[in-house]
Amino acid sequence: MLFPSEEDRRSLLQWARRAIVEAVSGSQLPSDIPQRGIFGERHGVFVTLHVRGRLRGCIGVIESEQPLGESIVRCAAGAALRDPRFSPLREEELHELEIEISLLSPPSPIRPVPHHAWSQDEVRIFGFTCEVFSERLRRLGV
């Protein structure tokens, strides 16, 4: 399901926040992740973090080998602690943290646009679409 319900969006965002809070506080990541409904589906996913409107971390997978719930928890914790572009998120930043989730469609082949740049037979290009939702957009009513 690429277009999650409002309830599913809210639940996925809550699980991402829980994973981040537990990761930043040094606790064990949640192990009681639901496996039913959207949580059990397999999707590529990216979890993006913003603090005071600025990018603070982003980690994801294009194709997941795990159920979505597990991918969300793993990517959320990774975005908070292991994005190599940023220092680990600190507990004092949690109150200003905004979480964004991008659910990816399965990759599908696309035809190259530049005719000569990708003319070799072995080159294959794939694309995907995203369903993006965030805590900020929920607060704005979007």
What digits encode the pLDDT tens for the residues 85-103?
999 999 999 999 999 999 9
Query: CA of 37: how far to CAs of 4, 11, 33, 42, in Å?
Result: 10, 11, 12, 11
Least confident of 41-45, 55-59, 113-117, 123-127: 113-117
pLDDT tens digit string along 124-141?
788 899 999 998 755 555
Helix %, strand %, coil % for the chain, to 5?
Answer: 35, 25, 40
Parse the chain into domains and list their residue ranges. Answer: 6-140
- State the architecture of 6-140 in CATH terms: 2-Layer Sandwich (3.30)
8 Å CB contact between 130 and 105: yes
Prediction pTM value: 0.88
